[in-house]
């Protein structure tokens, strides 16, 4: 058991640090670019030098690095003022691993390097109005027409659909068999005729995700991943990676910032940080934060000796999201009446950090598996508890009760 870098890790760290220091774009270089263009600029520079998607094979734009090296690079990148590259996370974190597992060599060569370099952005077309937590209840249908499939239906909660080049798509190819058996998995050009994208406004005021309508959209059969009817199995590859890649959220709302806030405001005429209730509360959040950090270290240690990441990764989002929500709520309370102000320019030290977290976390507790689904995953796949009895098992999808 050792928490320090090994010799090899230390060498890698200093190499990464040196490259980042020399190459992180200056404000001059980024002048006039919007967020997307900044992300693409930085991603391209990293990819050209072999510092993008470093765990991928070299032929697809990576450098065959290991899990620990990826973490070290992440730690070092967090220390420099590099542009935010979250727009690539669905493509690199979910679509790419699915392509790597299920696509043929030509498709991998065509798409993976462009994913690594940030030239292409991908979105995930899974959830539907009728299928969220019960994803396999989705109804968007695909019908074979020669060498093509014709898609009709509607997807929802699609992050970044409006700026994506490609999407990964699960559809129903056979409603006459039980629901998990009638699905197939494709990738689709988001500029295809018949795709219509409508933004959804969130309670945070932003519109990060969309409804995506498909009307007679044609997809060549060559863009299918896995066999016809194997879509659920392919989806699981994506979903496993989704759970690993959605972070705890909350960004800057963490122990150190809330503690800093408690040092700057007063309770009963004394700094709030001297209040025993505040101290106890902060301590239990620290315990959670440290517990999550060291849990990820344990996962890494397991990965580095070749283990496969398991469903226990669901813990990060399950614990982290609600913790951020509670901390934001607590921080707003500490600010008293001033706490309700949500104006990035109103507070010198924190901007609208806590208010933004307060408004964004409800979405994170639902995205990529609700808290309740995450708890079910832990109960069923980690602890081995039985599923609830279900009404849709073994019967054709077309006969499953829908409430309509």
Give the chain's length: 404
Nearer to another protein, 35 or 291 (CB): 291
Find out whether 303 and 244 touch, Cβ atoms under 8 Å. no
What span, in angstroms and rounded, lies between the C-alpha atoms of 389 and 23? Answer: 56
Nearer to another protein, 163 or 297 (CB): 297
Return the number of other C-beta atoms located less than 10 Å from residue 114's C-beta: 19
Q: Output the smallest distance, CB 238 to another protein, in A.
A: 23
CA distances from 145 to 63, 149, 172 (A): 41, 6, 15
The yes or no reply on residue 298 touching another protein (CB under 8 A) is yes
The yes or no reply on residue 286 touching another protein (CB under 8 A) is yes
Give the residue carrying structure tokens 């060569």.
Answer: 109
CA distances from 3 to 85, 292, 297, 301 (A): 29, 15, 9, 10
The yes or no reply on residue 66 touching another protein (CB under 8 A) is no
Interface with another protein (CB under 8 A), residue from 382, 395, 398, 399: 382
- Counting residues that bind another protein (by CB under 8 A) gives 50
Give the containing element (helix H, strand E) for 219: strand 209-220
What region, left, alpha or beta, does residue 229 occupy, with left being phi > 0 and alpha being psi -120 to 50 degrees?
left
Interface with another protein (CB under 8 A), residue from 23, 264, 295, 329: 295
Active site residues: 242
184 beta partners: 171
Chain positions 237 to 256 lying near another protein, rule: CB under 8 A, are: 255-256
What span, in angstroms and rounded, lies between the C-alpha atoms of 44 and 83? Answer: 12
Find out whether 69 and 8 touch, Cβ atoms under 8 Å. no
- Relative to beta strand 166-172, strand 195-200 is unpaired
Q: Output the smallest distance, CB 133 to another protein, in A.
A: 12
The yes or no reply on residue 276 touching another protein (CB under 8 A) is yes
The yes or no reply on residue 267 touching another protein (CB under 8 A) is no
Interface with another protein (CB under 8 A), residue from 25, 378, 396, 400: 378
Interface with another protein (CB under 8 A), residue from 1, 31, 81, 391: 1
Choices 58-66, 80-88, 234-242, 379-387; region in contact with another protein by CB under 8 A: 379-387
Q: Output the smallest distance, CB 4 to another protein, in A.
A: 7
Which positions lie near another protein, rule CB under 8 A? 1-6, 9, 68, 255-256, 259, 276, 279-280, 282-284, 286-288, 290-295, 297-298, 300-302, 304-305, 312, 315, 318-319, 372, 375-376, 378-380, 382-383, 385-389
């Amino acid at each position: 058991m050792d928490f320090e870098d090994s010799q090899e890790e230390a060498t890698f760290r200093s190499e990464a640090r040196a490259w980042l220091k020399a190459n992180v774009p200056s404000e001059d270089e980024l002048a006039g670019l919007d967020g997307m263009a900044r992300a693409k600029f930085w991603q391209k520079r990293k990819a050209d030098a072999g510092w993008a998607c470093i765990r991928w094979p070299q032929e697809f734009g990576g450098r065959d690095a290991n899990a620990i090296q990826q973490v070290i690079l992440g730690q070092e990148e967090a220390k420099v003022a590099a542009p935010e590259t979250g727009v690539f996370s669905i493509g690199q974190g979910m679509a790419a691993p699915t392509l790597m597992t299920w696509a043929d060599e030509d498709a991998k060569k065509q798409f993976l390097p462009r994913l690594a370099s940030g030239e292409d952005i991908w979105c995930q077309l899974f959830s539907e109005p009728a299928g969220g937590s019960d994803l396999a209840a989705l109804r968007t249908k695909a019908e074979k027409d020669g060498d093509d499939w014709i898609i009709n239906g509607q997807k929802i909660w699609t992050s970044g659909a409006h700026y994506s080049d490609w999407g990964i798509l699960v559809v129903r190819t056979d409603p006459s068999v039980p629901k998990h058996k009638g699905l197939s998995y494709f990738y689709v050009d988001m500029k295809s005729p018949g795709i219509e994208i409508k933004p959804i406004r969130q309670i945070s005021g932003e519109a990060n995700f969309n409804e995506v309508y498909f009307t007679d959209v044609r997809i060549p059969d060559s863009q299918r991943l896995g066999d016809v009817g194997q879509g659920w199995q392919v989806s699981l590859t994506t979903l496993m990676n989704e759970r690993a890649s959605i972070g705890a959220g909350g960004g800057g709302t963490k122990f150190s910032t809330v503690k800093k806030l408690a040092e700057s405001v007063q309770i009963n005429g004394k700094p709030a940080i001297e209040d025993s209730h505040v101290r106890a509360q902060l301590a239990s959040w620290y315990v959670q934060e440290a517990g999550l950090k060291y849990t990820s270290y344990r996962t890494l240690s397991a990965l580095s000796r070749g283990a496969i990441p398991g469903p226990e990764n669901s813990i990060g989002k399950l614990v982290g999201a609600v913790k951020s929500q509670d901390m934001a709520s607590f921080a707003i309370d500490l600010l008293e009446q001033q706490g309700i102000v949500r104006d990035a320019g109103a507070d010198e030290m924190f901007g609208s950090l806590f208010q933004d977290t307060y408004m964004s976390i409800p979405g994170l507790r639902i995205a990529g598996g609700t808290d309740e689904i995450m708890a079910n995953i832990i109960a069923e796949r980690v602890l081995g508890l039985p599923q609830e009895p279900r009404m849709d098992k073994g019967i054709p999808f077309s006969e499953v009760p829908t409430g309509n």
